[in-house]
C-alpha cells in the first residue's frame, strides 16, 4: 500500500508491503524507488514486513532543494518517527546503503540490525552514466531501447508524462545527489554498533572486494560479509540468493 507523510514542508512517499511480520525498513539506490523491493518483500513475507521509502527526489516523493548527506539521514529519521516502530532492522542499497549506515551510526537506539548492499565506506561515484540518460522518449519501449542493457535496472522508475516517457527522478537532481554521496564515510561506518550484514556483488563496479574485506576488518562487533554472483544491484541480479542471505542474517540476529 502506498502511503505519504510530511517532513519539512515536503511530501515523502513509501510503500508498506504489509503483512503480520516484523518491520524491515528498505532504502533504494539512485535511479530506483521503493517499488524495486517488491520481489524482496514477497520473498521475506510473512515473517518480515518490508516498508520501503521513496527517498527525496525519487518515486512519488517531492523533489528537494538539496541532496546532502545530512538531508537524507534526516529524512530516514523522520520516516522512522512517522512509523513509530521502535528499534528496527534497516536495509539499504547503494545510496540507500550509505543512508542506512549513517542513520545507524547517528541513531544507534533506533536500529536493531543493518543490511548494506554493495556500497563502501569510501564512495567515488561516477555520474557520467547519469548525464547520458535519455531525456524524454515517445514510448516506454523507446525509453527501454535507449537504455539498452541498463533498462531492467531502471524500469521501476519509468513514468509517462504529457511530454512522453521519462523517469520518476530528475537527472540534474541525481547528479547533485551523487556528488554529495562521494567521500570518506569511515567514521560513520566504524561507529555502527548493531549486527551488520554487508552484501557484495562479485561483479560489482561500485564495491571492490578488497574494500569490502577492509570494511569488515575495521568494524567491531557482529558483522558478516556475503559475496553473491551479481553486479552492483545484487537484489536484482540474484534475487533468490539475496533474499536467502537477508533471511538467514535476520533470523540469526533479530
Checking if the pLDDT of 221 tops 90, the result is no
Confidence of residue 253 (pLDDT cuts 50, 70, 90): confident
Q: 56: closest CA among 10, 90, 100?
A: 10
Q: Is 134 part of a structural domain of the chain?
A: no
Q: Is 150 part of a structural domain of the chain?
A: no
The confidence score (pLDDT) of residue 67 equals 98
Question: Rounded CA gap, 254 and 38, in Å?
Answer: 22
Q: 199: closest CA among 148, 236, 167, 151?
A: 236
pLDDT digits (tens, 9 = 90+) for 87-107: 999 999 999 999 999 999 999
Q: Is 155 part of a structural domain of the chain?
A: no
The confidence score (pLDDT) of residue 135 equals 86
Question: Rounded CA gap, 212 and 206, in Å?
Answer: 11
Q: Is 231 part of a structural domain of the chain?
A: yes
CATH number (domain holding residue 186): 3.40.50.1820
Mean pLDDT over each residue of the chain, to the nearest integer: 97
pLDDT digits (tens, 9 = 90+) for 70-82: 999 999 999 999 9
CA angle 151, 67, 28 (to 5 degrees): 40
Q: Is 139 part of a structural domain of the chain?
A: no
Q: Which helix (H) or strand (E) holds 160?
A: strand 158-161
Q: By residue range, what is the domain housing residue 225?
A: 2-125+170-253
Q: To the nearest whole percent, how much of the chain has pLDDT over 90?
A: 95
Q: Is 133 part of a structural domain of the chain?
A: no
pLDDT digits (tens, 9 = 90+) for 37-52: 999 999 999 999 999 9
Question: Rounded CA gap, 57 and 30, in Å?
Answer: 10
pTM, entire model: 0.97
Q: Is 143 part of a structural domain of the chain?
A: no
Confidence of residue 18 (pLDDT cuts 50, 70, 90): very high
Give yes or no for a contact between 171 and 133, defined as CB atoms under 8 angstroms apart.
yes
Task: Give the torsion sign (CA, 62, 68, 70, 76).
Answer: positive
The confidence score (pLDDT) of residue 117 equals 98
Q: 58: closest CA among 166, 157, 133?
A: 157
Q: Is 164 part of a structural domain of the chain?
A: no
Q: What is the mean pLDDT of residues 143-147?
A: 96
pLDDT digits (tens, 9 = 90+) for 199-211: 999 999 999 999 9
Q: What is the mean pLDDT of residues 124-151?
A: 95
For 198-219, give the DSSP string: EEEETT-SSS-HHHHHHHHHT-
The confidence score (pLDDT) of residue 208 equals 96
The total domain count for the chain is 1
Checking if the pLDDT of 254 tops 80, the result is no
Q: Counting runs of H as helices and runs of E as strands, what totals does the chain give?
A: 11, 12
Q: 213: closest CA among 222, 201, 225?
A: 225
The confidence score (pLDDT) of residue 252 equals 86
Amino acid at each position: 500500500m502506498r502511503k505519504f507523510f510530511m517532513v519539512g514542508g515536503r511530501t515523502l512517499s513509501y510503500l508498506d508491503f504489509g503483512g503480520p511480520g516484523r518491520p524491515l525498513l528498505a532504502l533504494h539506490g539512485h535511479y530506483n524507488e521503493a517499488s524495486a523491493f517488491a520481489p524482496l518483500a514477497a520473498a521475506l513475507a510473512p515473517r518480515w514486513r518490508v516498508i520501503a521509502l521513496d527517498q527525496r527526489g525519487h518515486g512519488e516523493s517531492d523533489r528537494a532543494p538539496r541532496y546532502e548527506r545530512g538531508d537524507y539521514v534526516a529524512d530516514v529519521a523522520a520516516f522512522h518517527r512517522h512509523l513509530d516502530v521502535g528499534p528496527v532492522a534497516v536495509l539499504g542499497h547503494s545510496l540507500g546503503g550509505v543512508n542506512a549506515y549513517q542513520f545507524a551510526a547517528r541513531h544507534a537506539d533506533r536500529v536493531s540490525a543493518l543490511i548494506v548492499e554493495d556500497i563502501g565506506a569510501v564512495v567515488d561515484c561516477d555520474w557520467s552514466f547519469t548525464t547520458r540518460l535519455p531525456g524524454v522518449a515517445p514510448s516506454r519501449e523507446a525509453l527501454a531501447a535507449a537504455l539498452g542493457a541498463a533498462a531492467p535496472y531502471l524500469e521501476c522508475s519509468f513514468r509517462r508524462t504529457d511530454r512522453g516517457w521519462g523517469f520518476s527522478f530528475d537527472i540534474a537532481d541525481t547528479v547533485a545527489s551523487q556528488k554529495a554521496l562521494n567521500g570518506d564515510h569511515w567514521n560513520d561506518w566504524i561507529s555502527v554498533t548493531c549486527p551488520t550484514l554487508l552484501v557484495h556483488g562479485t561483479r560489482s563496479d561500485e564495491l571492490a572486494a578488497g574494500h569490502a574485506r577492509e570494511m569488515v576488518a575495521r568494524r567491531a562487533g557482529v558483522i558478516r560479509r556475503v559475496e553473491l554472483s551479481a553486479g552492483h544491484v545484487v537484489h536484482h541480479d540474484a534475487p533468490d540468493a539475496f533474499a536467502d542471505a537477508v533471511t538467514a542474517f535476520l533470523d540469526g540476529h533479530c
